[in-house]
Structure 1
C-alpha cells in the first residue's frame, strides 16, 4: 500500500536517490531541501515514474520552515507515514580554520536539522500511534576523522539524540519506530560544493559507493525499522569495530593518512562557490540540477555485500545453518557408505 514519505535533502545526493527509490515503489514523496531547482527536477523524475510528489522548500535549520513544509506535504499527500532525515552541510578544513559561525551553521543543519525533522514527524505520528523515522547517519558518527570536525560532531550528536528518543518511545510503549542507517563514503555532489579550505579538491575516503546503494538500505530500514543500526558497506562496519577495539591505533593512522586520503591530486580554487549559506543550484538562467551523483562515478561501487547481509541476516543465517547441517549430513552419509563398502 502506498505511503506518504518525507525526504529531507531531497534535491541532490543521497536524499535525491532515496526519493527516487521510494517513488519507484509507488510511494507518495514529500521533497524537502533549500535548492528549488533540484527539488523541481526531483519531482519531475518521480512524476515520470508515475509517483506522486510535492515540493516543499525549507532550510532544515529553521524549525518554523520545517513545520510549514510538513503541513504543506500532509495537506497534499496525506498523513506522513515515513520521515527520512538526510539533509546536511559541512566544511572541509582543520578545526582552527573553521569560523565560529561556520561551525554553528554546520551544527544547525546537520544536527539540529535532524532534531527539527524528528520533532515534526513525532508531532504527527505519535497521536496516530504509527510511523517510522529513519536517520541517515555515517560511520563518522562513531569514528571521527581529521578535516571534518563540525560534520563528525554533528553525526555523533545525531546518534546520541536518536538513542534518547528511542528509549522515550519504548517507555511510552509507542508503535512509532526510529532507526539509523550508517553510511560509508558516497559519491555525491557534496565534494564539489561543500565549503573547503583544502589546497586540493576534496574526495570521499575509499571505498566509495554510489548513492543508490545507500538509498536501497534506507528504504529497507523504513520497511523494517529496528533498534540495531543498519550498516552500509564493509568499510562502515570495520570502521565502527575498529573504533571499539583500537581507537588509539586509528588515531595515529588517521593522523598520518587522513589529510591526503580526503584530497585528489587536483588543486582547488581558493574561493570556489559553496553551499554553506545558500544552495548552489541557482534559479532562472543560472539554474543547475546537480542530481544524485558526484564526480567519482569511475571509482564508485554499485553494490555492497555487507549492506545486503545487513538487510537479509535474519533469513540468511537460518539458511546458512540449514546448509551447514545438510553438508554435515552428507559428509556423514558418505563416510557411512564408505565404511559399509569396506566391510
Structure 2
C-alpha cells in the first residue's frame, strides 16, 4: 500500500466503528491462523509432576508456535498480563526473521512454578533435539521466572540456550513492594494492590477474590494509560480486546497463585550469575514509575559491576523515546515498539554474527 494512502485509510476506519470492528476481528483471526498450539514430543518432566500438583489442568501453561525462517527460535515468557501471544505483537516479524517463535501463556485457573519450569525444560529439550538453541525472551514477571529457572533448576544446566533477553525485569517482590513504613516517592497503584493481595487470608475466599478484582482494574487502568492520546491501529485494538478477555477470564485462584509465585523470587545478588551466556537487559526510561525506588533489581542492573555478576556476558540498554511527551514506560513493547525493536535486532544480529562467520 502506498505510504501516502495509509493515513487516509486509518482515518476512514477510525471514523466508522462497524468497519473498525471488522478489521479488528480480522486481525485477531490472522494471528490465530499463524500462531498454533504446540506440544513437545517428550513431556517427561511435566508428567513427573502429575501427583505433586493439585490439578494438571489448572496449572499447565499453553504453548503456541509460530513458524519463522531462521534457525534461532525465541521462547516468549510474558508478565502478569497480557498473554505472551499478544505481548510481542509488534516484535513478531523481527523474531520470525531469526527463527520460529514459541509462546508460553500462563494458565487461567491456577499457577505452579514447578510445572512452568518442567514445561519450559521439556520445550527447550525438544528444540535442542531439532539441532537448535533458543533465545529466552522474558518480560517483567516472566524475567523473574526465567531467573529462577536458570539459577535454581539443576536440569537447566544440561539444556542448550543461545541467549537471554530480559525486558523490564522484575526479579523479586521487593522490586514492586517496599518495606511497610517506606513511602518515599508515593505509593504506586500496583504496589498497593499487591500488598493487599499478599495480606489477604487465603482461607477467606471472598477476601482474595475482592483483592484480585482490584488488581484486575489496576491492570486494565495500566493498559488504558498506555493507550491514552494515541491513534490505535486495528492491531492495537485487537490486542486490547484480548488483554481484557485475559484479565476477565483469569480466576481469583489463578491470579492469587501467580502473585504467590512472585513472592518466592529471590533478590538478585551473591556470586552466582543468572546466565553466563550472551544476555541483553532492556530498561525503560520510566521504570521508576512502576518499580519502587528501593528496587534491588534496578539497583543491581544500574551498577556495572553488579550487572556483570548477574550477566557476565550481558549488555544493559535503556529504551528511550525520541519524544519528551511520550517516555517509555515499564515493559511497553506494545506502545513503544519502535524504540525496542532496533535494540533487539542489533543484539540478535551480533549474537548470530559468529555463526555466520563460521559458515563462511
Which bracket does the TM-score occupy, shorter chain normalised?
Answer: 0.3 to 0.5
Which one has the largest radius of gyration?
A: 1
Relative to the length of structure 1, the TM-score reads 0.33
